[in-house]
Structure formats: C-alpha cells, structure tokens
C-alpha cells in the first residue's frame, strides 16, 4: 500500500511502485480529469501539481511521490484554472508573454495561444 496526499485527502492505494502516477490517479483513485495524451511527457494532458510544481504524471513512478502533495485538475476545478497556468501564476503573479510562453508547454491542437495568453493575463489581474 502506498499513501498519497491528493487534493488534500489521503488515499491508500495498492499499486506497484513503478506504476505511473497517471494510472494510479485514473484507475485506482478514480480521478479521471487527468488525461492520457502521449505517454512520453510531451503533450501536457497528464499534468498535475506535485508540491505546487506542474509535473507530467505519465512519467512519475507512484513510488517516488512519497508524502508530496498532489493536486489534480479536480482540486483546481472550483477555480477553473489550467494546471500549468495555475502553477505559473503561483510562482509569478504578473507574467510577461515570454514567461507565459515558457511555462505553457502543453501542446494545443486548437491554435488559440493568443487567447491562452490573454486568459492568463486576465487571471493575473484577479490573483
């Protein structure tokens, strides 16, 4: 059994220590907001916060998490923020376009990066 702190709650999960955190979150805990995308930590669909840092959960063995705090999209849902954007704004309350471009590494098929930047700037005004 592995004890995990997820969204402020403790979960005891029965998983092999090398199981990716993504699959533990989805299949064992039932938090399906974290998505599988590429499986190689490139697309960002599986992003969670581990101790406040945006992290690709598909490449994190659950046995390495220990007592770190995990926050999934469900934990942020009440605020309606994106995982990478929330992490950026926590570290930098007034990011520049360059800061946003560096932090927003999720691959987006919609091509609305200008809108993403505008949304982050708007959120920074309310943070």
Alpha helices in 1-127 (DSSP H): 21-23, 73-76, 83-91, 97-103, 113-126
> For 62-66, 68-72, 81-85, 119-123, which range has the lowest pLDDT when averaged over its residues?
81-85
The answer, as to whether pTM is greater than 0.75, is: no
Domain that holds residue 96: 81-127
Instruction: Of 72, 77, 75, give the one whose Cα is nearest residue 56.
Output: 72
Together in a domain, 3 and 62: yes
Together in a domain, 58 and 116: no
Task: Provide the number of structural domains found in the chain.
Answer: 2
Confidence of residue 81 (pLDDT cuts 50, 70, 90): very low
How do residues 7-35 score in pLDDT, each as one tens digit? 999 999 999 999 999 999 999 999 998 99
How do residues 53-76 score in pLDDT, each as one tens digit? 999 999 999 999 999 999 998 988
């Amino acid at each position: 059994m592995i004890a995990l702190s997820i969204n402020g709650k403790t979960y005891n999960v029965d998983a092999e220590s090398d199981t990716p955190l993504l699959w533990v979150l989805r299949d064992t805990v039932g938090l399906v907001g974290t998505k599988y995308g590429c499986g190689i930590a490139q697309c960002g669909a599986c992003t969670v916060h581990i101790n406040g840092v945006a992290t690709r959960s598909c490449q994190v063995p659950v046995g390495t998490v220990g007592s770190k705090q995990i926050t999934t999209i469900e934990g942020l849902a009440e605020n309606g923020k994106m995982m990478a954007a929330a992490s950026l704004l926590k570290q930098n309350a007034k990011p520049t376009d360059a800061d946003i471009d560096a932090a927003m590494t999720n691959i987006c098929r919609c091509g609305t990066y200008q809108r993403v930047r505008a949304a982050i700037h708007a959120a920074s005004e309310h943070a």
